């Protein structure tokens, strides 16, 4: 994976010093809170309901065991012994003291990590496929391009005060495991008819209160123009994105209001101009970065494993993903134990995952946007040993992509924006489905819960989505069906009037019963919904 050189390290160190100085000026009263707020946000520091929250960047979700160990140590030293992995492949600490923030950033810098641009109206952490560099179905490893974009977007002098936050995702396979088209810019690395590798640009997607699927604006950008094209997309947005209303300030609104054709025309014009000016890094830089992502030395070994333990066999079936080398798999560590808080891990668990990565996965770890952890390169022969250690530490839940593997935002338990709680609802749903034994029958079913309209829990993209709203001071939950963040991307539709907390759990039961009764062949919940439409589900809910 990528390692900092002296330049990268100096940039991160400079940022820590800059932030220390900003905090000092804030304390001395030289900065007002209004002036300080965007600065602390650009260093990942939010003020939540009960305390400060620090969001640490995990670029394209990749980290090594030393970094994961440091994250665990920070949880113990500065938080309450745990951290929360997020849908941006980052980690958040929810109980941070402002006076500790600069020290935490310094601890992070020691292991080549930071909290730069994890919030604020700037280009955020670049996300990617959590199986990048390991999966059987990718064209190339997308991470070198993500790293090139990371460097370009870090402290970008022109794009630090954008109309609104800006999220970029890079994938390199037809399967979309990163919600690519629900990003401000989604980049798919593709091969053209001439056999050359390039970038396909989708611009103007997003969730939030106005969910939109990004349209494709360029089929193929040559790799030595990737940064230039991104810069053109951003400049048009920086100049013309709306600034009069923060709810209409994301690029999706600009693309929608201008129309895809007009936005594209403006980008192409800017792009042609920038090609003349020359903003692309030298070509050798991409080659230098790519060397960091060379495959580890895979060894041939057994391709099958003793499956006589049914619990182990179930975990293998559910939680492993096919690797490009047939003696290996990618193993998913579920952070969704039954009744647990989705995405939470204790400091101790983080250190254990770090050790296991070192022992079994060439020192590599990935964070999934579904709030789980991946050991990308596990030799098949090592799966039983890995599983028994995970299981003993409460990390062996065999539920990837099932209804128990739900995304939930922090909700009203932490977040100042939330209207309703998400976490207790997630806990109760996983308990209910585990108890009834229906999880297995339902197969792949993506349930996503947001505690407010900002949609951090991706409810628009859930096969089943739940949105918490405030109804005259009482928490109320709207149910929606038919969303997908994958290559078959779609936005979920609301079923009808909302439910109480108990009512929405019952409603989820009902819609899954409709699916089980109407399912044909190998259909997933989503497939059945798409075939039979909303009516049968409505009938069961409100009829």
Strand, helix or coil for residue 471: strand
Closer residue to another protein in complex, CB, 239/307: 239
Alpha-carbon gap, residue 538 to 23, rounded angstroms: 53
What's the closest the beta carbon of residue 59 comes to another protein, in angstroms?
14
What's the closest the beta carbon of residue 158 comes to another protein, in angstroms?
5
Compute φ and ψ for 249, nearest 5 degrees.
Answer: -95, -10
**Residue 83: which of 431, 488, 373 has the closest Cα?**
373
Closer residue to another protein in complex, CB, 284/520: 284
What's the closest the beta carbon of residue 238 comes to another protein, in angstroms?
5
Per DSSP (E only), the strands in 147-274 are: 168-171, 185-191, 197-203, 216-222
What's the closest the beta carbon of residue 243 comes to another protein, in angstroms?
6
Characterize 30-50 residue by residue with b for buried, 16 or more Cβ atoms within 10 angstroms of its Cβ, and e for exposed. ebeeeebbebbbbbbbbebee
What's the closest the beta carbon of residue 156 comes to another protein, in angstroms?
6
Alpha-carbon gap, residue 250 to 208, rounded angstroms: 10
Residues with Cβ within 8 Å of residue 336, at least 6 apart in sequence = 342, 343, 371, 372, 397, 399, 404, 405, 406, 430
- Cα torsion 407, 409, 410, 411 to 10°: value is -130
What's the closest the beta carbon of residue 36 comes to another protein, in angstroms?
9
DSSP assignment, residue 323? Answer: B
Closer residue to another protein in complex, CB, 278/543: 278
Residues with Cβ within 8 Å of residue 4, at least 6 apart in sequence = 12, 112
What's the closest the beta carbon of residue 277 comes to another protein, in angstroms?
5
CA Rg, the chain, in Å?
23
Closer residue to another protein in complex, CB, 31/338: 31
Pairing of strands 127-128, 62-64: unpaired
What's the closest the beta carbon of residue 147 comes to another protein, in angstroms?
11
Strand, helix or coil for residue 400: coil
Task: Provide the total of helices (H) and of strands (E) in the chain, helices listed first.
Answer: 17, 20
Alpha-carbon gap, residue 297 to 393, rounded angstroms: 29
What's the closest the beta carbon of residue 11 comes to another protein, in angstroms?
7
Alpha-carbon gap, residue 71 to 354, rounded angstroms: 10
Closer residue to another protein in complex, CB, 244/535: 244
What's the closest the beta carbon of residue 374 comes to another protein, in angstroms?
28
What's the closest the beta carbon of residue 370 comes to another protein, in angstroms?
31
Closer residue to another protein in complex, CB, 10/435: 10
Cα–Cα distances (Å) from 382 to 296, 302, 331, 354, 421, in that order, read 17, 10, 11, 16, 40
Closer residue to another protein in complex, CB, 35/192: 35
Q: Are 410 and 420 in contact (CB under 8 A)?
A: no
Closer residue to another protein in complex, CB, 242/358: 242
Strand, helix or coil for residue 28: coil
Closer residue to another protein in complex, CB, 228/371: 228
Closer residue to another protein in complex, CB, 25/493: 25
Closer residue to another protein in complex, CB, 282/521: 282
Question: Which residues sit at the interface with another protein, rule CB under 8 A?
Answer: 5, 7-8, 10-11, 14, 18, 21-22, 25, 30-31, 35, 38-39, 121, 151-152, 154-162, 235, 238-239, 243, 273, 277-282, 284-285, 288
């Amino acid at each position: 994976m990528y390692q900092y050189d002296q330049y990268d390290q100096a940039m991160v160190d400079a940022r820590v010093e800059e932030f220390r100085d900003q905090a000092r000026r804030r304390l001395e009263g030289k900065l007002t809170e209004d002036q300080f707020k965007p600065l602390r946000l650009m260093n990942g520091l939010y003020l939540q309901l009960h305390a400060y929250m620090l969001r640490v960047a995990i670029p394209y979700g990749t980290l090594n065991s030393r970094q994961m160990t440091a994250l665990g140590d920070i949880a113990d030293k500065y938080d309450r012994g745990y951290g929360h992995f997020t849908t941006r492949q980052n980690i958040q600490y929810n109980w941070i003291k402002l006076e500790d923030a600069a020290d935490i950033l310094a601890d992070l810098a020691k292991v080549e990590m930071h909290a730069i641009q994890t919030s604020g109206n700037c280009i955020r952490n670049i996300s990617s496929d959590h199986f990048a560099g390991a999966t059987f179905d990718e064209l190339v490893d997308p991470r070198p391009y993500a790293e090139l974009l990371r460097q370009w977007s870090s402290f970008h002098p022109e794009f630090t005060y954008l109309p609104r936050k800006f999220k970029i995702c890079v994938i390199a396979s037809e399967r979309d495991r990163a919600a690519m088209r629900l990003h401000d810019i989604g980049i798919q690395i593709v091969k053209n008819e001439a056999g050359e590798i390039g970038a396909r640009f989708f611009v103007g997607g997003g969730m939030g209160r106005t969910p939109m699927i990004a349209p494709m604006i360029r089929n193929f950008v040559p790799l030595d123009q990737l940064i230039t094209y991104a810069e053109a997309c951003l400049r048009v947005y920086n100049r013309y994105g709306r600034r009069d209303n923060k709810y209409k300030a994301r690029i999706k609104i600009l693309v929608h209001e201008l129309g895809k054709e007009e936005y594209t025309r403006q980008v192409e014009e800017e792009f042609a101009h920038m090609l003349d000016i020359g903003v692309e890094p030298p070509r050798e830089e991409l080659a230098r970065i790519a060397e960091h992502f060379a495959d580890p030395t895979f060894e041939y070994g057994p391709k099958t494993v003793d499956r006589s333990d049914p619990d182990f066999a179930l975990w293998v079936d559910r939680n492993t993903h096919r690797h490009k080398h047939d003696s290996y798999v990618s193993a998913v560590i579920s952070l969704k134990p039954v009744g647990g808080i989705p995405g939470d891990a204790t400091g101790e668990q983080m250190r254990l995952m770090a050790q296991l990565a070192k022992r079994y996965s060439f020192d590599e770890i990935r964070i999934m946007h579904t709030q789980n952890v991946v050991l990308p390169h596990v030799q098949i022969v090592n799966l039983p040993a890995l599983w028994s250690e995970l299981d003993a530490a409460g990390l062996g839940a065999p539920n990837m992509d099932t209804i128990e593997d739900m995304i939930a935002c922090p909700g009203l338990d932490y977040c100042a924006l939330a209207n309703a709680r998400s976490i207790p609802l997630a806990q109760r749903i996983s308990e209910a489905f585990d108890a009834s034994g229906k999880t297995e029958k339902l197969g792949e079913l993506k349930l996503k819960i947001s505690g407010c309209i900002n949609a951090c829990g991706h409810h628009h993209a859930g096969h089943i989505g739940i949105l918490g709203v405030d109804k005259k001071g009482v928490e109320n939950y709207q149910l929606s069906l038919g969303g997908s963040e994958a290559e078959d991307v779609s936005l979920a539709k609301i079923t009808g009037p909302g439910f109480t907390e108990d009512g929405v759990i019952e409603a989820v039961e009902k819609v899954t019963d409709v699916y089980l009764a109407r399912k044909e062949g190998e259909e997933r919940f989503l497939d059945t919904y798409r075939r039979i439409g909303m009516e049968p589900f409505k009938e069961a809910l409100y009829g």
